[in-house]
Amino acid sequence: MPQSGLALGGSAPDILAMTKTLLSLGHGYSAQSLAERLLPLGWHIIGTTRSPERATALERAGIEPLLWPATTLPLERVTHVLSSVAPEDGDDPVLAAHGPQIARATHLEWTGYLSTTGVYGDHGGAWVDEDTALTPGTARGRARVAAEAAWQATAPTRLHILRLAGIYGPGRSPFERLRDGSAQRIVKPGQVFSRIHRDDIGGALHAAIQSDQGTAIYNLCDDDPAPPQDVIAYAAELLGMTPPPEIAFEAADLSPMARSFYSESKRVRNDRIKRDLRWQPLYPDYRSGLRAVLAAEG
């Protein structure tokens, strides 16, 4: 059974009544980019975390922390909900604990769910879009398909599902691996991945919240699917380093999870989100994105 939640800090409900309030479930790397856009606009944000230490950090960042698991969610104080929580043991933990409460929250103006392009499975490097059949080849992908369906069945008002490509950004890029010597320039013929910079996720979420678009599913990726070895080589060039030698996929030292990512190859289209939400990526390819990450490091 979920244990009692603990909310720290925050403002009184009567003050919040005049404020747009986002409940960010599983508030982490991607959701923080949205928070950085909303907080200066006067939004109140409640972010869940499992860690008391992380709760303190959220409070310092101007976010009201809510320790997870929580007995109940403060939906009466909330206008918008975003879930970044991944499935656990094949189920969505948010809906397993709070599905009926969320379904009753008909006052919500918007609900968002961050999914993954892994729901499409392997397409041998071919292009996919939101109308492509969902044929996930991994347990993680199948769990995401089920979670998407559960949110579609539960969300009481308009729902935007964003299927994210591979996420990178400050603190989560090839630079860290190149510097510590763990980067591998793995070559698997025909392998391509789509990617998305963290700040483009925040921009897309902000566009979704501001839009008048009804329930919809959007792919969120840049414009330049590319082989992973090319990304490592370019990151090394930016650092002035000699790139690691190419290594065949079969000989690479990879964890089972990392190896599973190479079981699927596809190019992901983002035309729908550009059309409906008038979103354009700040970083339309990994080259511009990596340059921005390095510049942000100062």
Digit-coded pLDDT (tens) for 38-97? 999 999 999 999 999 999 999 999 999 999 999 999 999 999 999 999 999 999 999 999
Token couple for 195: 């990617």
Short-list 96, 114, 30, 26, CA closest to 67 = 26
Residue type, 46: I
Query: What pLDDT is recorded for position 4?
Result: 31
Query: What pLDDT is recorded for position 298?
Result: 80
Query: What pLDDT is recorded for position 19?
Result: 83
Structural contact between residues 292 and 283, judged by C-beta atoms closer than 8 angstroms: yes
pLDDT at 10 over 60: no
Short-list 211, 202, 196, CA closest to 275 = 211
- The whole-number average pLDDT for the span 169-197 is 97
Query: What pLDDT is recorded for position 119?
Result: 98
Instruction: Determine the Cα–Cα distance for residues 128 and 163; give it in Å rounded to an integer.
Output: 12
pLDDT at 7 over 50: no
Domains and CATH numbers, the chain: 85-230+234-296 (3.40.50.720)
Query: What pLDDT is recorded for position 17?
Result: 46
Instruction: Strand 44-49: give its sheet, edge to edge.
Output: 64-67, 44-49, 21-25, 80-83, 110-116, 159-164, 216-220
Question: Residue 155: phi, psi to the nearest 5?
Answer: -55, 125
Q: How does residue 18 score in pLDDT terms, banded at 50, 70 and 90? A: low
Instruction: Determine the Cα–Cα distance for residues 114 and 130; give it in Å rounded to an integer.
Output: 14
- Sign of CA pseudo-dihedral 154, 159, 161, 162: negative
Q: What's this model's pTM, rounded to 2 decimal places?
A: 0.93
Q: How does residue 3 score in pLDDT terms, banded at 50, 70 and 90? A: very low
Instruction: Determine the Cα–Cα distance for residues 217 and 161; give it in Å rounded to an integer.
Output: 5
**Can you spell out the DSSP letters for 54-90?**
HHHHHHHTT-EEEESS-SS--GGG-SEEEE-PPPBTT
Query: What pLDDT is recorded for position 269?
Result: 98
Query: What pLDDT is recorded for position 131?
Result: 98
- Sign of CA pseudo-dihedral 228, 229, 234, 238: positive
Average pLDDT, the chain: 94
Sort 48 into a burial class: Cβ within 10 Å, 0-12 / 13-18 / 19+.
Answer: buried
